[in-house]
A and B are shown apart, each in its own frame.
Chain A
Amino acid sequence: MKQERPKKFGMVIDLDKCTGCGACLVACMSENNVPFKPDESDKLTSITWMRVYQLNNGKPYPETDICYLPRPCQHCEGDHGHSPCVSVCPATATDYGMETGIVSQIYTRCFGCRYCMAACPYHARYFNWWDPVWPDGMEKYLNPSVSVRMRGVVEKCSFCYHRYQTAKDKAIYQFAEGERDSTDLEEDEYQTACTQACPAGAIIFGDLNNPSHRVHQIAQPDEKHAGRPKNPKAFRLLERLGTNPKVYYLSSRDWVRRAGDNYLEGEGKLKRH
């Protein structure tokens, strides 16, 4: 097989642009056959691969500020692919792919011990407490590129990996027909459902290893420091845990950037001054 340069797919989410509309959530659920129940307000049992959180700065009225934070799976790289969930899985059901940087979840392999859910600091993993039940006729609208899950297994965001698979098939076909020079994918050929659904253009997706991709240019990951963003506006969730996630957030607001980690009262300020 050809040796291509490894890719590292990642995301940049501009929190200053996010309005919290939830279009990404809906797009994600329908794209990935995510099961739902009559009462989705019970967040203990609902499944949301992409979930929008509301943050606020905790200040009284005139200074009140809120921010919406969409949270997909962070596809942590950890130390050479030893992300928290991959390290604890006793069944090899979740894996870090070195060629794409995507953390996979093989539903048929998972037996539902939920170690990964305990290990994931981002609550990005969900357990199927019941078999999915689709409203009559809706099973005809399921996405055939994504396998449906059963009761007793864990699932999570896959960065719409099936779109990568189908995009590659198309590239191979076009290459064979002489319509393109290589089977390498262009930036816009592989995009996640949430990215395309976002009306504000707050979500940007691409290959962090590719300097021509926007995610690379915006986040400016510092390879010497486990991908830490060089862009001062960018941050990652719980950076200090060393999970080395591939989802970068952007905000011009200081309190939002600080909310990305569990800082102690006054921490950082003391050091800086």
Chain B
Amino acid sequence: MSTVDEHEKDMPSEDSGGKGPPPPDPEQKNKATAYVIFFFFVGLIASLIVGWIIFPQLLYSQKEQPIDFNHALHNELVGDCASCHYFREDGTFSGVPDLWSCIDCHMDVQGEDPEEEKFVTEYVWEDREVPWLIYSKQPDCVFFSHAAHVLSGGMDCVTCHGHIGESEHSKVYQENRITGYSRDIWGRNISGFKRNSWDRMKMDDCADCHEEARDSATKDEPRAPVGRVIDNIIRVAFPGTYADNRGGSVQTQRGACFKCHK
């Protein structure tokens, strides 16, 4: 059996000769705190850079359109959008034009432009449709109607598409590597702020505009969350009395899901 004294002797003797930790050195403590704060901010800034700049870049792959198309030039030539983006007789929208809209003018190369030559030789002469990438392509489950917005609502293309119709070059198409959707759906600004109505076209963006349109049409106050809670209480407490079919959806009291889904 060893004694307590023996143990004490085994302990490495420090120059202070005392027991326990040395008395805290105020200078060293400050230094440690400074390091902690420093590395915290280094880490914070690094993760902000990763999260806000690097990750979004990695998340989206960049693709060029097969042909760089000049809208400004063609608009001057043909006058209006409808000669290429028109409605069919069954009310569907033609969308991005097929070769049929181009061959009147492009049966042969008429200028020096290498893009035109590529277009004519690789697509028109081969009778092959150009595989345009659609910036605004919505998921398969979404039903969108150009007729309702453009013909009935009288809305301008710019409201939802921005200034693509006046551009001189096709912009780069960015595809989300995980979902495969275009970046124009989720928007460029990852903080979620929208500066223009066409910055983003997620479900909420469609719904916000629909709520606004409906409320201005019926001159109602937009339903605040509190109002919805009260509606729900009334509905549960007095079943049968609640006939308010705002927006048509029983679940959300907004637009019914089948309005935009299929």
Contact = CB atoms under 8 A, between A and B. Distances in A.
B148 A99 contact: no
Nearest to B243: A80
Contact of B147 (A6, A89, A173): A173
Contacts of B210: 1
B71 interface: no
Contacts of A162: 143, 262
Nearest to A145: B262
A265 B75 CA distance: 77
Contact of B245 (A98, A109, A166): A98
A98 B249 contact: yes
B250 A107 contact: no
A147 interface: yes
Contacts of A109: 257
B219 to A, nearest CB: 11
Interface residues of B, number: 36
Contacts of A98: 245, 248-250, 256
B258 A92 contact: no
Contacts of A174: 91
Most chain A beta carbons < 10 A, residue from B92, B141, B210:
B141
Interface string B235-262: 1000110110100111110001111011
Contacts of B214: 1
Interface in A86-143: 86, 89, 92, 95-100, 102, 104, 106-109
A184 interface: no
Nearest to A82: B250
Interface residues of A, number: 42
B213 interface: yes
A170 B91 contact: yes
Interface string A226-246: 000000000000000000000
B148 A172 contact: yes
A72 interface: no
Nearest to B139: A108
Contacts of B251: 86, 89, 92, 95-96
A160 to B, nearest CB: 10
B87 interface: yes
Interface of A: 1-3, 6, 79-82, 86, 89, 92, 95-100, 102, 104, 106-109, 145-148, 158, 161-162, 165-166, 168-176, 183
Given A95-B256, A174-B91, 17 more contacts: A1-B210, A92-B252, A96-B251, A97-B256, A99-B245, A100-B258, A106-B257, A147-B141, A147-B261, A165-B262, A169-B90, A169-B147, A169-B148, A172-B91, A172-B148, A172-B152, A175-B151
